Structure 1
Amino acid sequence: MNLPARHGIRIMRALAAGLALVAMLAAPLSARAEDANGTDTQTATSESQSSTQAATLTITQTTPVVTSTSGFHIKVSITNNSNETTPAGTLKVSTNTLFTFVSRSDIQNWAEGNAPIPTPDELGSASVPAMPAGDSVTVSVDVDSNQHTLASIPSWGPKPLLVSYSTTNEPQGEQQAETQAETHSFLTRSGDGLTTAKTPDMNLTVALPLTADSWQVDGTVINELVADTDEGTTSALVADAGDHSRTQTLSKHQQLQVVADPSYLEAIQTSQTQATQTTNAHNAKESVNFAGYAGIMQPSDFDITTYGSLNDAEAYESAGIYTDQWSAKQALSSYRSAIGDNQASTDTYAWQGDSGWSMEALTAAREQGYSTVIADSSFDEERTATVHTGTYVVNTEAGDVTVLKEQHELSTLTHGQATSDDATAETSDAGRLARLLAQSAFYQMEQPYTERYLLTTFDRNASAEWIEQVMSALEQADWLNLTDLHTMAQADPYSVSDSVNLAQDDQDAQSESSEDTENARSDVGDTRSALKQLTASRHDIMRMATSVLKNGVDVDALSDPQALARQDASSTAQHDTDPTAWIGSLLAAHDAMALCAMDGDSDTGNRQQMVTGARTLADTLLSGVVITPSESVSVFSESAQMPVTVSNELPYAVGVQVNSITDSMQIVTSSTNELDIPARSDAQVAFTIRVSTSGSTVAHVSLADRQGQPFGATQDTPITSVLRISDMSGFIIIGFAVLLGIVGLWRQFNRTKDPDE
């Protein structure tokens, strides 16, 4: 078709205008992209950025949920990493009000500084003073809720947040800003005050294991137990509790699912009772009066998962750890004792320990009465395109087990960890909290009309401050419905099967748990080592019971040390000659320490404290029978007596072997004497010393049980021999020597000489 010339000119002008418009739009977008990343290279990793950044930015405070009235507030600590003073500069905070994250990889890439997302919308800025090398300064940016950028956000959900720090180069000519550092975080807008349609809330359960930070051993109580005094029935374990503020925090947040360790509750109740009796308990530590428990866990936070991985019940029993100590039945009994209500009832949960939930561990938990367990994200290795309900049902030989699996990213953040080493904004609590809220909002947005139940958990030693920050923020998140563990357990399971799909590293741990390869993974090796040490200390207590005490204890009567301990506690210290109940209390104390040594958190150093405490108990018991130090012995004849005194500080009579051996073949003692020593008394035995020459040596006197196995410390006694003629045998020897001399002389003078001589 032929067009008039004027029409062609008009078309050319229109094309030129269009190209000009495109150029005008493209230039700001390019600038925005550079602004978002602080570099022309959009794909530069945060690692390379951190290596070239002259400063470090740490978010110390931020608004995790932005509402129509909250405004936005952020505090940033800036550290000068260079070796010279940096000039004054500016901290700028910007976002992209129109941007919506469309995938989990997008949100993760932004956190790691790898996503080329422009942030053209400035929220605010603050002046940064000049900083000497190595110095730090904290600046704040406070944005009012009516500020244009904040008020113009059209939809709820996570938005990219860029925090950048730049300095100005002078002095001559045009000023030029030079970016020193930047970090990528998130601003999450709630639906409050927006006109967008409301979608169903996503179900989220937040759980906390309430157990001891660590356990301590009371040495005074150990001495009282061994001495069998009135006070000796007190538990030797002391729970190292959090401060009172933690209890106040838990009571404030009723949606927080607190799963309590009943042994911990008992220990706290005992310590509070003692504090009330002795002093004003105003400053007492955590109380057990808080009624908001969602349930209880296995006693002493026993590590059922490692127990299943090792698959060696005999090793645990030899160490004094029996299944009835950590069963659901025992958990309920301890809980009732702690709260003082024999009719109380609550849900029981088995909390995951250091290893993953293998089929063996799930079966063991179910056999001991736990039908629901808490698992970390390693339970199901499968990573689906979108998050799903974390409820599983596993068919075991002992019955079905409901597994509540925590969501990986949410729990990583709640545990106080960054989602990756490259997520620089997540090095602080405030940065992790901002990511936590953004991540949860994104999960709701990716499938807004699909009902899902997600779980996140706190770490065992989470501080009151961190719990308060997280729960307060989640309670403001109007896209979340905070549910309880019981509701999540009753939800339609994501999977029902008769197998466990552990993450690969946990599968490797299962296959490497045999004794031949115990060093392949330190936690398994440490567990076996601790079990061996506990077995040795318990063996020494049993040896005292069967082979040292004069009235030996029937082993069958010691099959339930806990019952014997309760029997001992209900009586006074005035026992008859039967030491069975006393030995039962000692075994119960040992086994309580052994159970605590196998808790689910190997990072606290608690295991070695408990192993050492058990060893101390056994050593204190065995050292109750000792050889009293004696003076050196001087011997002036062929034979003499060496008295040895043995002291029994125990409350029951003992029968032992006393052995003696010297370093010399010419000065020797008799080797063994048997000795009975009454309770809290001394007894003496005499060893015969035989001497064939003058000299000195040392007699090593030791104790052994009636089976000949040594125990206790060896006592060294010096022996000095000064042999003198003091009897007829001596004169006979001298006379015989003189006679031999005379005969020798006679032969010398009366012998026949050789002819050649």
Structure 2
Amino acid sequence: MNLPAIKHRPHHGGRFAHAIVAMLAAGAMLLAPAAWADESNTTDDSSSAQTQQAQSSQSKSGKPAETLTIAQSTPIVTASSGFHLQVIVTNNSDVDAPAGTLAAATNALFTFASRSDMQSWAENGTNIPTPNPLGSVDVPAITAGNSTTVTLDVAADQQALAAIRNWGPKPLTIAYIAGNTRSIMHSFLTRSSDGLSTAQTPAMNLTVAMPLTSGDWQTNETAITNLIEETDSTSSSSPASGKAQESTESNGTSNTKSEETENGGAATSAEQSSEPLLLSAESIAQTKALEQTVAKHPRLQIVADPLYLQESGSKPTIAGVMQPADFDITAYAAINNASAYTNAGVTDAQWTAKNAQTIYAAAGNATDAPDTYAWQGSADWTMDALTKARAQGYSTVIAGASFDNEQTDTVHTGTYVINTTAGDVTVLKEQSELGTLAHGQATSKEATAETSDAGRLARLMAQSAFYQMEQPYTTRNLLMTFTRTNSSGWIDQVMSALEQASWLNLTDLSTMANTDPYHVSDSVNQSTDSPDTSATQTVLNQLTASRQGILRLASSILKERIQSDDIVSLDPQTLARRDADSTINHGNDPKQWLGSLLTVHDGMALRALTGSGPSGSHQRMAQAAQNLSDTLLGSVSITPSEPVSVFSESAKMPITVSNTLPYAVSVKVNSITDSMQIVTSRTNDVVIPAHGEAQVAFTIRVSTSGSAVAHVSLSDRQNVAFGNTQDTTITSVLRISDASGFIIIGFAVLLGLVGLWRQFNRKKDPDE
């Protein structure tokens, strides 16, 4: 059980214990306080001693006995803000920790000289003196395995804060002492220029973008069943059907009434939808939260997946649209097998920039075509990937920090122009440290203060301030992105802090794309590591198999043979425009019916190949496509039959085949037994009408009494098996049923009698 949070103001007492605490806060936790007066006087010995103290106590698991986590920290200190710090102290050991003290201190005069210095400080690897105490708080005893939260509030006029005369990042030491245990964590305190007399320098341009998309797609089983059976969805749907039901099955959670209310009725509206592919109620709720966040921060550049906007009903202000369903262009180029994607159901036409704009307009958005951006997928951008993106209509792409491996002394504009055979591509590259932190990751595993959002935000603001200070009069435009899964709360925290940063000028994507490029080239300086595309290959194979199943139904099972080239292709936006009922319920046209089935399958395929890389959601869409194919082929099935008893040399075995599809099928029914003495005829051709049944009869021939099992199966006109197998038991009891049988028996009896007579009446040989 966690102890309650204890909030304290800084101590100012004169007792002996408080005097020790004041000394600690002033820097006594480090070994050479005299040396701290000279900022340049740091030694490896003192750094080693500090590290040794910080790791002096270890739990049996190898973790530090006590760990510190920043729960809250003022990201930007102004003339009036003061400094607020909240730290969680966790006792990882198996013994209780005594009461102790947590103290914070900074260095009001220190200025970081390089990015490596900042990184080394974050990793507790360098000894920068922090002689300016911010305050300290008492930490109560902590029982084994539990934690407590303490709060330190520092007033704006506190001496250490008032001593800061120049803006920028400052080192922050957070130290915890309890008995013989000492834990030290390094973070950052960033002072703005507010209230300082230092000269103002131009703000650095920063573009912050995020992809608005989701991999949490679900299937509406009721709508898919209606589509397969060509029934009216409005009359056949039930209150328990639809997206909410499928979402419950996929996520393993109950869909309660309170959840529907909490999600703004998303689940209720989903149940009434006739669309086969839907977003989960949870994803819809997240969209609503993101909409509120985006509305608060107009400088946040939203690059939206048009299919996601269409289904979620969200209409945020966007900077542009990305490839539909966040299709993974980089993995597509890495695999370099266009036919594999086509066979799986994803053609190039589905993810062009033009189609992205068309889907956006079909969702009822503004008629003006938005800008298009290709967002990086699970692999890195290569020349092949950039060339393909450009050929698909994307003249600007968003790239991760791995795009250019060149190491420079200072950060530079992240705009590149790459010359490809399809045309020039503008690449907007993310800045590495800022992007890592914005993604919710620590810059390294040794940066212990960055294990929490608050700690990462403190580092992010300090890092951005340092980048402006290292070249204050050089025009640069950096890019920072959020991930596809960052929470609205985290995005709100970061954007609120960035908007308060006087050293930053938040720009839009168009401005960054049109700025003078850092580099123009016909090559890409990227990592030589080959991406692992095995998971994507597996998904492609699954999708190819499921699509082939549908095409096989068309060409080899339906009575009216339909080749793939004859299938009526539906407008890709048929389902997207929410007019599926009027288009799919099209009457007795199997070509259009199959076209609608392939449209749904290919929509699943597109959503199974999104840029976030293969995951559970990708597998769910691939499995949904396979389920669609299996359901179609399983709609023609053998009805279970009763055991057959045979009382003569031959008999008939009736087999009933049912067809729940809306069109007649022509199939082969096969039978084989596991006995050589009891056999059946092998094959019967049968035509089963739509929504009907048909019966065939197999001839049974027996040569002895006994039993056998007939394995009855279905195959298409190409003799390829499909569907279920039915086992029927055959029992044979031979009886004499005609005159020839009696003659044979009589003759055998006669021969037996003659043999006996000769045995008793023959003459014996004399030698016997």
1:196: Cα distance to partner? Answer: 0.7
Counterparts of 2:215 and 2:37, CA distance in 1: 48
Residues 574/743 of structure 1: CA separation in 2 closer, same or farther (3 Å cut): farther
Query: Aligned AA for 1:217?
Result: T
Query: Aligned AA for 2:448?
Result: T
Contact 1:214–1:604 (8 Å) recurs in 2? no
Counterparts of 2:136 and 2:431, CA distance in 1: 36
Residues 353/48 of structure 1: CA separation in 2 closer, same or farther (3 Å cut): farther
Matched, 1:100 2:102: no
1:94: Cα distance to partner? Answer: 0.7
The 3-state SS of whatever aligns with 2:47 is coil
Aligned to 1:29: 34
Counterparts of 2:491 and 2:646, CA distance in 1: 76
Aligned to 1:556: 565
Which of residues 131, 138, 144 is equivalent to 1:127?
138
Contact 1:538–1:618 (8 Å) recurs in 2? yes
Counterparts of 2:534 and 2:584, CA distance in 1: 42
Matched, 1:421 2:445: yes
1:562: Cα distance to partner? Answer: 4.5
Contact 1:648–1:679 (8 Å) recurs in 2? yes
Which of residues 406, 409, 419 is equivalent to 1:395?
419
Residues 542/731 of structure 1: CA separation in 2 closer, same or farther (3 Å cut): same
Which of residues 577, 591, 594 is equivalent to 2:605?
594
Counterparts of 1:51 and 1:748, CA distance in 2: 111
1:508: Cα distance to partner? Answer: 2.3
Counterparts of 2:599 and 2:100, CA distance in 1: 66
Matched, 1:573 2:613: no
Instruction: Show structure 2 runs of 5+ residues with no match.
Output: 1-30, 58-63, 235-272
Query: Aligned AA for 2:449?
Result: A
Which of residues 271, 276, 282 is equivalent to 1:236?
276
Counterparts of 1:745 and 1:564, CA distance in 2: 93
Matched, 1:316 2:341: yes
Which of residues 436, 455, 479 is equivalent to 2:460?
436
Farther-moved stretch of structure 1 (92-101 vs 730-739): 730-739
Matched, 1:672 2:683: yes
Counterparts of 1:668 and 1:47, CA distance in 2: 84
1:751: Cα distance to partner? Answer: 7.5
1:340: Cα distance to partner? Answer: 4.5
Counterparts of 1:328 and 1:754, CA distance in 2: 112
Counterparts of 1:366 and 1:151, CA distance in 2: 54
1:152: Cα distance to partner? Answer: 2.0
Counterparts of 1:568 and 1:547, CA distance in 2: 27
Map of 1:320-719 to 2, 5 A cutoff?
320-341=345-366, 343-503=367-527, 507-509=528-530, 521=532, 524-558=533-567, 560=569, 562=571, 569-571=581-583, 573=585, 575-576=587-588, 578-602=589-613, 604-719=615-730
Query: Aligned AA for 2:134?
Result: L
Query: Aligned AA for 2:600?
Result: A
Residues 44/608 of structure 1: CA separation in 2 closer, same or farther (3 Å cut): farther
Aligned to 1:117: 128
Map of 1:275-294 to 2, 5 A cutoff?
288-290=314-316, 292-294=317-319
Which of residues 284, 287, 297 is equivalent to 1:253?
297
The 3-state SS of whatever aligns with 2:712 is strand
Aligned to 2:47: 42
Q: Spell out, residue by residue over 1:452-473, the C-alpha distance to the aligned partner (whole angstroms, 9 max, x if none).
A: 1100110111101100100000
1:195: Cα distance to partner? Answer: 1.1
Aligned to 1:208: 210
Aligned to 1:281: none
Counterparts of 1:184 and 1:41, CA distance in 2: 15
Query: Aligned AA for 2:734?
Result: L
The 3-state SS of whatever aligns with 2:695 is strand
Aligned to 2:147: 136
1:237: Cα distance to partner? Answer: 1.5
Q: Please tell me the root mean square deviation across aligned C-alpha atoms, in Å.
A: 2.5
Query: Aligned AA for 1:78?
Result: V
Aligned to 2:326: 301
1:43: Cα distance to partner? Answer: 3.7
Counterparts of 1:105 and 1:349, CA distance in 2: 33
1:561: Cα distance to partner? Answer: 5.0
The 3-state SS of whatever aligns with 2:371 is coil
The 3-state SS of whatever aligns with 1:293 is coil
Query: Aligned AA for 1:529?
Result: T
Q: TM-score, normalised by structure 1?
A: 0.87
The 3-state SS of whatever aligns with 1:602 is coil
Which of residues 175, 187, 200 is equivalent to 1:198?
200
Counterparts of 2:399 and 2:767, CA distance in 1: 110
Residues 353/756 of structure 1: CA separation in 2 closer, same or farther (3 Å cut): farther
Matched, 1:70 2:81: yes
The sequence identity of aligned pairs, in percent, is 60
Counterparts of 2:90 and 2:573, CA distance in 1: 62
Residues 418/46 of structure 1: CA separation in 2 closer, same or farther (3 Å cut): farther
The 3-state SS of whatever aligns with 1:456 is strand
Aligned to 1:172: none
Counterparts of 2:376 and 2:598, CA distance in 1: 27
Map of 1:732-743 to 2, 5 A cutoff?
732-741=743-752
Residues 387/754 of structure 1: CA separation in 2 closer, same or farther (3 Å cut): farther
Instruction: Show structure 1 runs of 5+ residues with no match.
Output: 1-25, 170-177, 270-287, 511-520
1:212: Cα distance to partner? Answer: 1.1
The 3-state SS of whatever aligns with 2:341 is helix
1:220: Cα distance to partner? Answer: 2.1
Which of residues 53, 71, 76 is equivalent to 1:60?
71
1:32: Cα distance to partner? Answer: 7.0
Counterparts of 2:584 and 2:545, CA distance in 1: 30
1:69: Cα distance to partner? Answer: 1.2
Residues 747/298 of structure 1: CA separation in 2 closer, same or farther (3 Å cut): farther
Residues 572/486 of structure 1: CA separation in 2 closer, same or farther (3 Å cut): closer
1:48: Cα distance to partner? Answer: 8.7
Contact 1:223–1:620 (8 Å) recurs in 2? no
Aligned to 1:222: 224
1:397: Cα distance to partner? Answer: 1.4
Q: Spell out, residue by residue over 1:657-686, the C-alpha distance to the aligned partner (whole angstroms, 9 max, x if none).
A: 111111111111111001101110111111
1:235: Cα distance to partner? Answer: 3.0
1:37: Cα distance to partner? Answer: 11
Farther-moved stretch of structure 1 (153-162 vs 740-749): 740-749
Query: Aligned AA for 2:315?
Result: N
1:741: Cα distance to partner? Answer: 3.3
Farther-moved stretch of structure 1 (149-158 vs 743-752): 743-752
1:713: Cα distance to partner? Answer: 0.9
Aligned to 2:250: none
1:87: Cα distance to partner? Answer: 2.5
Q: Spell out, residue by residue over 1:383-439, the C-alpha distance to the aligned partner (whole angstroms, 9 max, x if none).
A: 111111111111111111111110000000000000000000000000000000000
Number of matched pairs? 686
The 3-state SS of whatever aligns with 2:672 is strand
Aligned to 1:175: none
Q: Spell out, residue by residue over 1:77-131, the C-alpha distance to the aligned partner (whole angstroms, 9 max, x if none).
A: 1112333333322211110000000101100010011111000001121111122
The 3-state SS of whatever aligns with 1:339 is coil
Counterparts of 2:134 and 2:520, CA distance in 1: 49
Counterparts of 1:386 and 1:475, CA distance in 2: 23
